[in-house]
């Protein structure tokens, strides 16, 4: 009943009467939101619903999608509306028929992502904090990548970990790693690139015409290598994706050493969101980074 009332509120906010709604179907659409395909007499929509207090999450998603769309590089879903009431919050996007991306779409995505990364800012960060999954992601602007990544990615995750006794095994290696960050990233000075921010294999696909599309961003301006590191964390992308990216904008020397550092942020966040399964994986990653630093 709450879902039906919330969908009615969404349609009212869009100016769509109940008689114009032909069909509403629940669909799979992510880890944390309820998702629906809404067919009206005019168009077909994709609606995500969540708790009313998570309206800022959907607003941040909309802002990121519009920022990426403005680059005229990688395609993203069109945003129609965000909103909320006492029962739920929501985002309304265009409905797209998604298919697994083949080699052509993978190569297209690689080249277009590199071109998207060429859209830059003077500072690292974003105009507002946003979300990585359901986790708060701070984005205060700074000119130092070392400071931004250490404070607003690693230390921010540490604060979340410290609140949960079941995760505290990660604190000792994480504290050691944080003290080593000047040695690990202090000589690396990337430009602030527009990022997707959460680019794993589940956040891209192809549409009917084979064109690559990305969605569910957690965007900010940061080191472009972080997007590439995330693509390799949970299964990796096609070789054609990486080849096309390198043709468009080759990665700098030292990327492979930085990759696990950037992947660690997402492992820490997954441990915070999903618990035990990622704790040992995060600890192994931290020990790998620390042992590599000690051998230098």
Reported as a single tens digit per residue, the pLDDT across 185-229 is 999 999 999 999 999 999 999 998 789 999 999 999 999 999 999
Whether 89 and 109 share a structural domain: no
Instruction: Report d(CA 176, CA 290) in Å as an integer.
Output: 8
What CATH number has the domain bearing residue 271? 3.90.1200.10
What CATH number has the domain bearing residue 51? 3.30.200.20
Number of domains making up the chain: 2
Whether 81 and 171 share a structural domain: no
Whether 35 and 162 share a structural domain: no
Whether 123 and 246 share a structural domain: yes
Residues pairing with 205 in the sheet: 213
* Mean pLDDT taken over the chain: 92
Instruction: Report d(CA 261, CA 274) in Å as an integer.
Output: 20
Share of the chain above pLDDT 70, in %: 95
Reported as a single tens digit per residue, the pLDDT across 137-178 is 999 999 999 999 999 999 999 999 999 999 999 999 999 999
Half-sphere exposure of 18 (CA within 13 A, CB side): 6
**pLDDT at residue 58, as a whole number:** 96
Whether 90 and 121 share a structural domain: no
Q: Print the domain residue range for 40.
A: 2-94
Q: What is the mean pLDDT of residues 117-123?
A: 98
**pLDDT at residue 184, as a whole number:** 97
pTM of the model: 0.93
Q: Which residues are catalytic, by number?
A: 198
Instruction: Report d(CA 175, CA 162) in Å as an integer.
Output: 11
Reported as a single tens digit per residue, the pLDDT across 38-67 is 888 888 999 999 999 999 999 999 999 999
In the predicted structure, residue 72 carries a pLDDT above the cut 70: yes
Instruction: Report d(CA 262, CA 226) in Å as an integer.
Output: 6
């Amino acid at each position: 009943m709450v879902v039906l009332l919330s969908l009615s509120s969404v349609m009212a906010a869009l100016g769509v009467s109940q008689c114009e709604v032909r069909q509403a179907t629940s669909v799979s659409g992510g880890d944390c939101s309820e998702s629906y395909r809404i067919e009206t007499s005019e168009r077909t929509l994709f609606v995500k619903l969540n708790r009313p207090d998570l309206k800022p999450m959907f607003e941040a998603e909309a802002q990121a999608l519009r920022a990426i769309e403005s680059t005229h590089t990688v395609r993203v879903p069109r945003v129609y509306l965000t909103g909320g009431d006492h029962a739920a919050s929501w985002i309304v996007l265009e409905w797209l028929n998604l298919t697994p991306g083949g080699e052509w779409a993978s190569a297209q995505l690689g080249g277009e992502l590199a071109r998207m990364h060429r859209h830059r800012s003077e500072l690292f960060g974003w105009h507002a904090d946003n979300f990585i999954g359901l986790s708060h992601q701070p984005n205060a602007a700074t000119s130092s990548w070392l400071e931004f990544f250490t404070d607003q990615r690693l230390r921010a995750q540490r604060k979340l970990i410290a609140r949960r006794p079941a995760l505290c095994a990660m604190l000792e290696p994480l504290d050691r790693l944080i003290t080593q960050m000047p040695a690990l990233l202090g000589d690396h000075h990337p430009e602030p690139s527009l990022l997707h921010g959460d680019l794993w294999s589940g956040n891209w696909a192809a549409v009917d015409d084979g064109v690559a599309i990305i969605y569910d961003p957690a965007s900010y301006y940061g080191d472009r290598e972080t997007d590439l590191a995330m693509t390799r964390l949970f299964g990796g992308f096609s070789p054609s994706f990486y080849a096309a990216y390198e043709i468009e904008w080759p990665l700098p020397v030292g990327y492979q050493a930085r990759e696990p550092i950037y992947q660690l942020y997402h492992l820490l966040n997954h441990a915070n969101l999903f618990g035990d399964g990622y704790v040992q994986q995060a600890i192994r990653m931290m020990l790998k980074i620390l042992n590599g630093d000690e051998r230098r």
